[in-house]
Chain A
Amino acid sequence: MSATVIILFLAIVLLTLVITFFAAKKTQTAGDFYTAGGGLTGLQNGLAIAGDYLSAASFLGIAGAIALFGFDGFFYSIGFLIAYLVVLFLVAEPLRNLGKYTLADMINSRFDARKVRGAAALNTITISTFYMIAQLVGAGALIQLLFGIKYWMAVLIVGVMMTIYVLFGGMIATSWVQIVKAVLLMAGMVIMTFLVLLKFNFNIGQMFTDVKTVTAHGEAYLMPGLQYTEPLGTISLMLALVLGTAGLPHILMRFFTVRDAKTARSSVVIATWVIGIFYVLTLFLGFGAAAFVGHDTIIAANPGGNMAAPLLAQAVGGDILFAFISAVAFATILAVVAGLVLSGASAFAHDLYGQIIKRGNVTEREQVKAARYASLAVSVLSIVLALFAQYLNVAFLVSLAFCIAASANLPVIIYTVYWKRFNTAGAVTAMLTGLLSALILVSISPSVFSPIEGAALFVGEPIFPLTNPALVSVPLGFLGGYLGTLLSKEKDIKRYAEVKVKANTGYKSSGVSH
């Protein structure tokens, strides 16, 4: 590995540690630890959302998918972006107005029951863990490839780094690591796009014509259908992508780091612009990689195509750009896993320990201490799981996380804010039906069972045909909540009136009390 790469890597690590050092001094209360004291501006939080969202799967995965599969790779970009309309139109503002630290707070603003909080915490921990394993496996593969070290060492390095940020700097450090990373990542994308376009003489029509001839797919490369051939499978995947974001705990948590719903709204808008531009640029990266790196070289470096973006950097910008892009990819993974640890830890420390076990009778000091222990526990657990998950497909784990988020969290959020009759029983059944149906359907799907040996975890005929079961599990989550509600007589019109007024006007939302 060249000296440039090592120096740039160390510079990134040093920068993030400096951020953590200053953030640690500011982190004193539980509010600081979980939500940076609710004091981020719209621009800061918007960049942090983008930093949280543009994971290794987006940066490395989509560029690779487009390079290998043309239009079908671009499907991900579209789904991941439109998801922000769902967030903006339906979820962001009511969530900010009702919640304090976690998703469970928001649901509990309507239902006090501990079982509701417990179910919400369970969902958060499950989704965050799946997502984190995916990121760690991806990180391990990347660093293993860059530095030529063993997989377990690579996972351990990333794992220890993320633990340090979260443990000492909490949400303040995590947010700033995400902001810095978002800026670096966008800079890297713009530079690479510029260099790719330079090679095509800034003629986009020419670019389309050229990529058609450089890949083995020919004409088909520019058309849908190279990767997704089953209509229902494609639609199910698209459903998981568009609805999953609005249920991802580490994204939802970012709405509590701002003062009010107005700032939450402006941060979503900024995030949508940044993320949208990013996903447009993935197209140039993917096409550039197909044209200037070539299918065979990409596959040789990593069968999933995950090295397409760094390889393109080398092809168009030489060793220095390669070093920079690799370092940015590393920062990307660190920022995302730090956010994930934090959301998992808040569910453990705030929901399970603080509210369920201690029934809210904890001091600030105890809360911060519990949150730090929980972060450590979440980190160690995910590192250990990631060590065993080396051979699992990263894209499968990410799309599974999106599917669980859409099935288990979105129905309960929508019902809590918009359905008058909804009650405690319905909240619990919505969350559990969504969670269980997503998990069970995946475990009997082609992602886990394949008749071809080595293609999936087990050899055998899949019982359920869809790789991503969102098309079935999301409606089941909604149905579970609906039936659970009707089967219980309980309803509280007064409480719903309060929730409705607060959600829609921002009256006395918890952020005001800071």
Chain B
Amino acid sequence: MGAEKEYKQEPAKEINFVQVTESKSFKKLMHERKKFIVPLTIFFMVFYFLLPVLTSYTTFLNTPVIGDISWVWLFALAQFIMTWVLCTVYVKKAAVFDKQADEIIKEMEEGGEEQ
């Protein structure tokens, strides 16, 4: 099998991955990841599609705010700012997940030796 070949550097000892997925620490990581990623993904997708939906079906974004700059430009700018903010937030949160993941790997390797 093709793929088998690529993973031949896998450890000789067998790790029970099903057991790992059922461990408390892994479940905690998955739960926290989900709690973080799902709402934010929904948020940025809704925020993003709000722009074409509003420009397609309404005209109120065309109202000028500052001189000749209308809401639609400010909304577009907000999209850029949102991207950078969410990027920064993600990196901060991911550092926490990294630590949890390292713990899980340590547990796995220690657990593997005992079996």
Point out residues on A near B: beta carbons under 8 Å.
71, 74-75, 78-79, 81-82, 84-86, 88-90, 93, 100, 105, 108-109, 112, 114, 117, 204-205, 208-209, 212, 222-225, 228, 231, 234-235, 238, 242, 262, 265-266, 268-269, 272-273, 276, 279-280, 355-356, 359-361, 493-494, 497-498, 500-501, 504-508, 510, 513
Tell me the bound Cα distance from A204 to B65 in angstroms: 13
Interface string of B65-79 (1 = CB under 8 A from A): 011111011001001
B17–A498 touching, CB < 8 Å = yes
Point out residues on B near A: beta carbons under 8 Å.
1-7, 9-11, 17-18, 20-21, 26, 29-30, 33, 37, 40-41, 44-45, 48-49, 51-53, 55-57, 61-62, 66-70, 72-73, 76, 79-80, 83-84, 86-88, 90-91, 94, 98, 101-102, 104-105, 108
Q: Which of A78, A231, A273 contacts B51 (CB 8 A)?
A: A78
B2–A82 touching, CB < 8 Å = no
**Min distance, Cβ B26 to any Cβ of chain A, angstroms:** 7
A82–B48 touching, CB < 8 Å = yes
Contact residues in B for A493 (Cβ distance below 8 Å): 18
Of all chain A residues, the one with the shortest Cβ separation from B59 is A223
* Chain B contact residues: helix, strand, loop or mixed: helix
- List 4 tightest A-B contacts by C-beta distance, closest first: A360-B5, A231-B56, A355-B2, A224-B55
Tell me the bound Cα distance from A88 to B9 in angstroms: 28
Contact residues in A for B57 (Cβ distance below 8 Å): 231
A208–B67 touching, CB < 8 Å = yes
A85–B70 touching, CB < 8 Å = no
A223–B70 touching, CB < 8 Å = yes
Contact residues in B for A88 (Cβ distance below 8 Å): 87, 90
Q: Which of A86, A262, A510 contacts B98 (CB 8 A)?
A: A262
**Min distance, Cβ B82 to any Cβ of chain A, angstroms:** 8
A235–B68 touching, CB < 8 Å = no
B80–A494 touching, CB < 8 Å = no
**Min distance, Cβ B2 to any Cβ of chain A, angstroms:** 4
A497–B68 touching, CB < 8 Å = no
Would you list 5 pairs from A and B whose C-beta atoms are within 8 A, ordered by A residue? A82-B48, A108-B2, A117-B3, A504-B33, A507-B101
Known: A78-B80, A89-B41, A234-B55. 7 other contacts (CB 8 A): A78-B76, A84-B87, A88-B90, A234-B52, A238-B51, A269-B91, A508-B10
Contact residues in B for A222 (Cβ distance below 8 Å): 68, 70, 73
